[in-house]
A = this chain, B = another copy of it.
């Protein structure tokens, strides 16, 4: 475990050294927030969604974020074009299936994306992942409602069927490639008081995936790092979502090896 955590700290250092470009095709709610989070992490953001340029833009990218939060058929088309090119170039594609299961458009969009693009990581909440895995889940708009007791198995099953890493954020985060499963206990309930922390965690996952091609490690590292930042930001802003929001950027920016190594709170289950 010590080695694993050390690697997370090293990956954070690599992001800051290499400054990978994270190409986002994302929703209009969190464009500014995820661009700023990319910068705080030490990477460079670009938001570009026109069908006419996504293929070219992804050619410069270290990772590609596909986030369907405010999807339209045109955006899905751009995502598929960019995703295919990312696959061709070996650029990891990270899918955030915001609101999958809430409407037919969203569910169908995710199906199209998964059919045409090999994802490195799918990062969602327990309802979205449960629905994609076929075990169901309750979603209210884009929010997971209630507890899903079968979420670990659902995530593992989806990881196996898609041949990718599945990352489920919640009170306890679950990351799995179908064989290895990590449980991350960093984070704070304040993170649920602002919109877009899910999307931010996807962005940070993309940042780690740009420097670490074991995507299970990348996705786990991202949630450890973001969770620690959330804890630090929450320490002085309990009950104050607006203040917490500003300090969350400060905390991600201030993250260092020491914090990762001292504060990481995770457990990993390996196949027997």
Residues of A participating in the B interface, judged by any CB pair closer than 8 Å: 19, 21, 23, 27-33, 35-36, 39-40, 44-50, 52-53, 56-57, 60-61, 69-73, 99, 102-106, 140-143, 193-196, 239-243, 245-250, 253-254
Contacts and interface: CB of A to CB of B under 8 A. Distances in A.
29 contacts: A19-B140, A21-B141, A28-B28, A29-B32, A29-B35, A29-B47, A40-B242, A44-B143, A45-B141, A46-B99, A46-B102, A46-B141, A47-B70, A49-B70, A50-B73, A52-B72, A52-B104, A53-B103, A53-B105, A56-B102, A57-B102, A57-B103, A193-B253, A239-B250, A240-B249, A240-B250, A242-B253, A243-B247, A245-B249
Given A141-B44, A195-B36, A250-B240, A104 B28 contact: no
A170 B140 CA distance: 34
Interface residues of chain A: helix, strand, loop or mixed (majority): mixed
Contacts of A19: 140
A239 B247 CA distance: 11
B28 A47 contact: yes
Contact of A104 (B45, B53, B195, B250): B53
